[in-house]
Amino acid sequence: MGEHMHPVVERMINMLKSSEGGHDITLSNMGKINIPNDYKNFNLETVFSPTVAFPWLNSNTLVTSTYNQQMDFTFMSNENFLPKEEAHLIKDKAIELLTTSL
């Protein structure tokens, strides 16, 4: 499907860069990733949540995935929308909430 989008990608990016969007954050829970730990000569230790490519102005995104009984969180944003210092405060608060809730 992505191949069919090539002719309109530049127009989509321009639109996304000029749009504030109607949301504060995008949440994506990929759930449990069913990939075997061992495959032939390979041993998979961990899977990190994928990142996203975002040209839009309102770009806060949180992605979670679970592999081998371990949940991974990835928080991404655009520094023009959310300054790095604020993103670090959000990350620190999330870690505090997660570790004190255990």
Given a cut of 90, whether residue 26 has pLDDT beyond it is: no
Q: What is d(CA 78, CA 26) in angstroms, rounded to the nearest whole number?
A: 13
> Of residues 101 and 97, which shows the higher confidence score?
97
Note the pLDDT tens digit of each residue in 40-92: 998 988 777 776 665 566 677 778 888 888 888 888 887 877 889 998 998 89
- Is the CB of residue 9 less than 8 Å from the CB of residue 44? no
Lowest mean pLDDT among 13-22, 29-38, 67-76, 92-101: 13-22
Q: What is d(CA 20, CA 81) in angstroms, rounded to the nearest whole number?
A: 10
Given a cut of 80, whether residue 97 has pLDDT beyond it is: yes
Domain span including residue 94: 2-100
The amino acid that residue 51 corresponds to is: T
Q: Which residue has the tokens 């992505």?
A: 2
**Which tokens belong to 31?**
């759930």
How many domains in the chain? Answer: 1
